[in-house]
Amino acid sequence: MISICFATNNKHKLDEVRSKINPQITILSLEDIGCREELPETCPTIEENSAQKAQYVAQKYKVNCFADDTGLLVDALNGAPGVYSARYAGPNCSPEDNMNKLLTALQGVENRKASFKTCITLVLNGKQLQFSGEVNGVILTERHGEKGFGYDPIFRPDGYTTSFAEMSMEEKNTISHRALAVAKLYDYLAESK
């Protein structure tokens, strides 16, 4: 049985990952290891932010852990909000604020192509590895659905007629950027037991 900490304060992400990972692996939360502080995210890329958080928790709390960073990259905005996706509308903004800002920025814009990208950094016994997942889609003109979190109500993945927020967690977990990255993480952990 492997115990590993997922370095996030986001309960939605924790639930998503726990539902995807094999029961042989116990996923601990930051609360479980006594970490109640805000993790550093000061790097200019998704990959570097992910590594910064994982290394911080691994070194300070002496645990095996992984951290993710996710960005929504919108073609018409030259990849914005990107690494700033969680705080696109400002430092203490809500997901609603972020969606409002994005919808306003895209008013009247025809090219609504976007992609969600997740990078997971694993620090296991001092060794660092990264796994990524990406899903392409479009930004809708208005919100659809009540499920999910973040930009889910306004993101529709290619090949689907519904937004992420209209999908069940099971359905989203088969195609999402985080699910793809977590699947690679799980495969690695399964092989390294």
pLDDT tens sequence across 35-63: 988 888 899 999 999 999 999 999 999 99
The ranges assigned to domains in the chain are 2-191
Is residue 83 over pLDDT 70? yes
d(C-alpha 34, C-alpha 24), whole Å:
23
**What pLDDT does residue 159 have?**
96
Active-site residue, from 15, 32, 68, 69: 69
Known catalytic membership, residue 68? no
pTM value > 0.85: yes
Give the C-alpha separation, 104 to 2, whole Å.
45
pLDDT-based confidence at 133, cuts 50/70/90?
Answer: very high
User: Per CATH, the architecture of 2-191 is what?
Assistant: Alpha-Beta Complex (3.90)
